[in-house]
């Protein structure tokens, strides 16, 4: 009476798929969820440069666990004709710098994008947004300005005034509004605002050193991928 049932049970148990114990190494991080990290910035803002330089070091330590992006803080003002009704705090050249960075983010690799931003920053806040600097930094980051698509997006002359790039800027500024990011620089790790640098570090409950950000990203990474046991 019980035999067929026991047999069936045995068959089911032995047929159940063997679940391998995954040895978590860097190489299988490809399958993991990376931690989204956003920096709310303005391209010509000294606070943004400071955050970006801090995150250059963070990337060196946990770059393979995170997806970094920049979100641009600016104001909507429909009377501004050149940048689709966007006013940038540090002037039109800042809007141009934002557009150049957004277009590079869209049309180049993440590494090239980051090298491009670092190159502009290295030139200094007074230079960021200038067409000649954008073209020079694209070359330094090994991006073909025209062939990559970045040129059509941000203007082949580097002006940052082409429709596609201006549209990316409007969307990014809208996102910053939606995230209630008003200060450059605001650091958001996995949708949580963890720190602001506005003249000085502010509201940084978990700390503001490179290692503090690394720790918070590691913690979020482990939480996001905890199904692996």
Ligand X SMILES: *[C@@H]1O[C@H](CO)[C@@H](O)[C@H](O)[C@H]1NC(C)=O
- Under the rule (CB under 6 A), what is the footprint of ligand X? 135, 145-146, 151, 156
Q: Measure the CA–CA gap between 32 and 174, rounded to whole angstroms.
A: 29
Residue 145 CB, nearest distance to ligand X (Å)? Answer: 4
Q: Is 13 helix (H, G, I), strand (E, B) or coil?
A: helix
Q: How far is the CB of 130 from ligand X (least distance, A)?
A: 14
3-class DSSP state for residue 100?
Answer: helix
Give the helix/strand (H/E) hosting 12. Answer: helix 3-15
161 contact partners, CB below 8 Å, separation of at least 6:
82, 83, 96, 99, 155
What secondary structure does DSSP assign to 38-71, as a single string?
EEEE-TT-HHHHHHHHHHHHHHHHHGGGEEEEEE
* C-alpha to C-alpha distance for 218 and 84, rounded to whole angstroms: 39
CB of 168 to ligand X, least distance (A): 19
Residue 149 Cβ vs ligand X, minimum distance, rounded to whole Å: 12
Residue pair 184/41 in contact by the 8 Å Cβ criterion:
yes
Number of residues assigned to the chain: 229
Please report how close the Cβ of residue 135 comes to ligand X at its closest, in angstroms: 5
Give 107 or 145: the residue with its C-beta nearer to ligand X. 145
Nearer to ligand X, 59 or 135 (CB): 135
Identify which of residues 145 and 201 has a Cβ nearer to ligand X in the complex.
145
In terms of CB distance, is 156 or 219 closer to ligand X? 156
CB half-sphere exposure, 62, CA atoms < 13 A:
25
| Choice between 133 and 135, CB closer to ligand X | 135
Nearer to ligand X, 97 or 151 (CB): 151
Q: How far is the CB of 116 from ligand X (least distance, A)?
A: 13
Distance CA 55, CA 223 (A): 21
């Amino acid at each position: 009476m019980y035999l067929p049932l026991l047999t069936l049970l045995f068959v089911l148990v032995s047929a159940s798929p063997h679940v391998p114990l995954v040895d978590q190494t860097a190489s299988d991080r490809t399958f993991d969820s990376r931690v989204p990290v956003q920096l709310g910035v303005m391209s010509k803002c000294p606070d943004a440069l400071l955050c970006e330089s801090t995150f250059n070091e963070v990337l060196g330590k946990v770059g393979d666990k995170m997806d970094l992006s920049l979100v641009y803080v600016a104001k909507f003002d429909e009377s501004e004709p050149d940048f689709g009704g966007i006013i940038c705090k540090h002037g039109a050249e800042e809007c141009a710098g934002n557009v150049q960075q957004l277009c590079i983010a869209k049309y180049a690799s993440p590494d090239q994008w980051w090298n491009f931003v670092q190159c502009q920053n290295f030139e200094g806040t007074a230079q960021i947004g200038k067409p000649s600097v954008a073209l020079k930094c694209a070359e330094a980051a090994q991006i073909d300005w025209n062939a990559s698509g970045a040129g059509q997006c941000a203007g082949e002359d580097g002006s940052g005034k082409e429709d596609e790039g201006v549209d990316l800027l409007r969307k990014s500024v809208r996102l910053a509004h939606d995230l209630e990011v008003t200060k450059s620089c605001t650091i958001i790790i996995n949708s949580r605002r963890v720190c602001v640098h506005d003249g000085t570090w502010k509201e940084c409950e978990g700390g503001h050193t490179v290692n503090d950000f690394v720790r918070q990203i590691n913690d979020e990474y482990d939480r996001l991928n905890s199904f692996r046991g």
